[in-house]
Structure 1
Amino acid sequence: MPKLLKTIIKFICFLAIGLGLIWLVTRNQTEKDKLDIINSLQRANYWLIIPVMLVGVASHWYRAVRWKLLMVPIGYKPTTLNTFFAVMVGYLVNLAIPRLGEVTRCGIVARYEKVPADKLVGTMIAERAVDLLLLVLIMIGTVVVQIDLVGAFFTEHVVIPIQDKIGKVSGAKGWLLLLAVVVVVGLGLLGLRLLSRSKFGITIRNMARGVWTGFISIGKMERKGWFIFYSVLIWALYFTMMYLGFMCMEETRYLGLKAALAVLAFGSVGMIVTPGGMGAYQLIVQKTLMLYGVLETSAYAFGWIVWSAQTVLVMVLGFASLIALPVYNKPKAVAADR
């Protein structure tokens, strides 16, 4: 199947998921509900979104600075602007197909800074692993500091459903499931062993070495303290964006730091599920804010406001970066031709 066709199919599938989630939320809404959402959107103070977007720009910039730190141990020092442009173009691509943007930004730095792409993938994996760890810690912290509210919601909607499904698996079904897992794992290991001896397997192994080199760069950094500082700063800026976002609506202006922490923690999951979080982000934010007494319609409107601000910011900076990349790197290209 042609690569372009695969990309189109992936885009359609992810878009369908996002639109499906929007339909699930809105299909049972009455005319009054829809009118309330529109009224909430109309009453919002959109001038207060400007500080949110400025903080967003800072978070993207420091993400580029942090990524650059990971490239130094493997022997490369790209310019901060090229790294920033690559990050923004990557985010832009992620709006269409989640995770494809990570590959895109590695390709951009590889092209303009002559850094081996396989090593860049390793640094990107290391960076994402740290972000995932911080997100998990934020989620745990969110539940711990408000166990009575968020903890009860998590237990009701996650823990209990899982326990119910496990409880429905009888003894015979359980053994059959275990046997199936063992067979699949065994066949997988056998397939990997045969593949590793082929020419294709050797190529993959060499690529994996390059990825591993980039991944372990985090352990070879001389400036680990700065890496940790930038990692915490990035998520602190995300948190600040969410808290400032509350100020744009009367219905959310009274919410405090705990609510901002919860929306950041759980809303981040929604940004991963569908292209740019469309549909999933608004739904998760809505359910989270309802825990704090925000009306269902107002909570849904807030989700759209924050999502739209983030999306517009990524689109503007992403397209601007696409234009700026060849212009900024033109002197290098001219010098290389001489």
Structure 2
Amino acid sequence: MKKQTSKILKDLLKYILPVALSAWLCYYLYTKIDIATMKAAINDCDYKWIGVALVISVFSHIFRAMRWSIQLDALNIHTPLPPLVWSIFGTYAINLLAPRLGEVWRTGYIAKRQNAQFTTVFGSMVCDRLADTVTVLLLTLFTFCIAREAFMAFGHKYPETYQGIVNMLHSPWIWTAGVVAVALIVWLFVSRTDNKWVLKVRDAVRNLWNGFAVVGTMPHKGRWLLLTVAIWGCYFTQLYVAFFAFSFTTHLGIVCALVAFVLSSISMGIPSNGGLGPWHLAIIFALGIYGVDINQGGAFAMIVWGAQTCLLVLLGIYAFVSIAMDKRQKTVR
């Protein structure tokens, strides 16, 4: 009974909470928007620029698969590029249903296809995501230097959010939990024990670390860094290109696009279905700093996010069909 209750609570946190958060944020945002004004802004859209942005988006996924291939090759998990591309397409499609579930799925898919340790592949995926986190931090620092006024405006407009971030960074509980976690990991590897559960956890942590740490010893580090720049260059360019689709954003310039890009990237850390809600809020706020009213900002966010979501669904369908055909061909052989 306790296990069943625990499972229900986990499912609620994993699936229901992100959906509820996304729905509440969308309701909060779009009840403050004049629908007639937003429709006029949508009709103003030049959709060829949205199409260009979507093409760039596809290349970002391909570059991500190429970067992951370098890490997996260093672990002697030699995977053809097409299955890696399918795994990335499928990841983002699944994340529309449940945040972070796509990463677990792509790890399981590649591990099973290549007959590799799940924890090792998972470690390489964690490293892949950590590289994204570091990139966002660097972009945030750079953007703060060239557009400090925009971030200060964010702090003044949302003082509770700003203070919450500061309090979290100064929380003794977070630092204590970090120290305890490190101490526990050290104990796992230092202690001498025959306990099978401890040994299993130790092996899992070792495999996870091997997949994570391979980036420090792998060949082709330069190509890996270049692909990281290419991935995030595509992410930024696709948003910047979308600025040319609307008369009220085409003149805003690259700094505004960078502010919107950084704030929207940070918002993706909030658990939601494909950024639904937090991403819209970040974009509307960023455009508002540069004089775009909430109705026009809402139209921009709705079209850009909606087009991207439709693309992810189509790429996901393509990926799952390709994976099914690949399994069938392997079975026949």
Shorter-chain TM-score bucket reads: 0.7 to 0.9
In structure 2, the partner of 1:114 is 115
Question: For residue 329 of structure 2, what is the aligned residue in structure 1?
Answer: 331
What per-residue deviation string (whole Å, max 9, x for no partner) do you get for residues 153-209 of structure 1? Answer: 24424599529996xxxxxxx9xx969997998799789979x86543332221111
State the alpha-carbon separation in 2 of the partners of residues 295 and 283 from structure 1.
13
Select which of 292, 297, 309 maps to 1:294: 292
Distance 1:321-1:180 versus aligned 2 partners, 3 A rule: closer
Aligned to 1:150: 150
Contact 2:120-2:211 within 8 A present in 1 as well? yes
Partner of 1:261: 258
Offset of 1:326 from its aligned partner? 2.2
Q: Relative to structure 1, is the Cα distance of residues 45 and 121 closer, same or farther in structure 2, using a 3 angstrom cutoff? A: same
In the TM superposition, what is the alpha-carbon distance from 1:74 to its structure 2 partner? 1.0
Quote the offset at 1:334 in angstroms. Answer: 2.8
Q: Judge conservation of contact 1:144–1:151 (CA < 8 Å) in 2.
A: no
Amino acid aligned to 2:153: F
Question: Is 1:75 aligned to 2:76, yes or no?
Answer: yes
CA drift of 1:69 comes to 0.4
Look up the match of 1:200.
197
Change (3 A) 1:43 1:163: closer
Q: Distance in 1 between matches of 2:78 and 2:329?
A: 18
Post-superposition Cα deviations, 1:84-131, rounded to whole Å, max 9, x if no partner, equal: 101111111111211111110011111222222111111011111111
Please say if residues 289 and 299 of structure 1, whose CA atoms lie closer than 8 Å, have aligned partners that are also in contact.
yes
1:86–1:187: structure 2 CA closer, same or farther, 3 Å change rule? closer
Say which SS state the counterpart of residue 251 (structure 2) adopts.
Answer: coil
Aligned-partner Cα distance in 2 for 1:90–1:234: 16
TM-score by length of 1: 0.85
CA change 1:21–1:184 in 2 (3 A) is same
Label 1:250 to 1:126 Cα distance change in 2 as closer, same or farther (>3 A). Answer: same
Match among 8, 22, 28 for residue 24 of structure 1: 28
Give structure 1 stretches of 5+ with no counterpart. 167-173
Q: For 2:178 and 2:126, how far apart are their aligned partners in 1?
A: 27
| Structure 1 residue 47, shift from structure 2 partner | 2.6
Closer, same or farther in 2 for the Cα pair 1:291/1:187, shift >3 Å?
closer
| Residue pair 2:63, 2:227 contacting (<8 A) in 1 also | yes
- Look up the equivalent residue of 1:14 and give its one-letter code: P
**Offset of 1:330 from its aligned partner?**
3.1
Separation of aligned partners in 2, 1:180 and 1:239:
32
CA contact (8 A) 1:271 1:278 kept: no
SS in structure 2 at match of 1:216: helix
CA gap 1:219/1:306 in 2 versus in 1, 3 angstroms:
same
Shift of 1:328: 2.6
Instruction: Provide closer, same or farther for how the CA distance between residues 179 and 250 of structure 1 changes in structure 2, counting only shifts above 3 A.
Output: closer
Deviations 1:45-72 (CA, angstroms, capped at 9, x unpaired)? 2232111110000000000000010011
**Partner SS, residue 252 of structure 1:** coil
SS in 1 for 2:274: helix
Q: Separation in 1 of the partners of 2:253 and 2:172?
A: 47
Separation in structure 2 between the aligned mates of residue 333 and residue 247 of structure 1, nearest angstrom: 48
Closer/same/farther in 2, CA of residues 165 and 184 from structure 1, 3 Å limit: closer
Q: Among 232, 235, 244, which residue is 1:235 paired with? A: 232
Aligned position for 1:35: 36
Which of 310, 313, 316 aligns to 1:312? It is 310
Match of 1:169 in 2: none
Alignment-derived partner of residue 100 in structure 1: 101
Letter paired with 1:284: A
CA contact under 8 A between 2:268 and 2:275: conserved in structure 1?
yes
Residue of structure 2 in register with 1:220 after alignment: 217
- Structure 2 residues without counterparts, runs of 5 or longer: none
Is the contact between residue 119 and residue 212 of structure 1 (CA under 8 Å) also seen in structure 2?
yes
Distance in 2 between residues matched to 1:271 and 1:187, nearest whole Å: 25
Task: Tell me the equivalent position of 2:14.
Answer: 10
**Corresponding position of 2:124:** 123
Aligned equivalents of 2:130, 2:116: Cα separation in 1: 21
Aligned length: 321
C-alpha offsets along residues 194-237 of structure 1, whole Å, 9 cap, x if unaligned? Answer: 9x865433322211111101011101111000000000111011
Of 208-217 and 5-14, more deviation after overlay is shown by 5-14
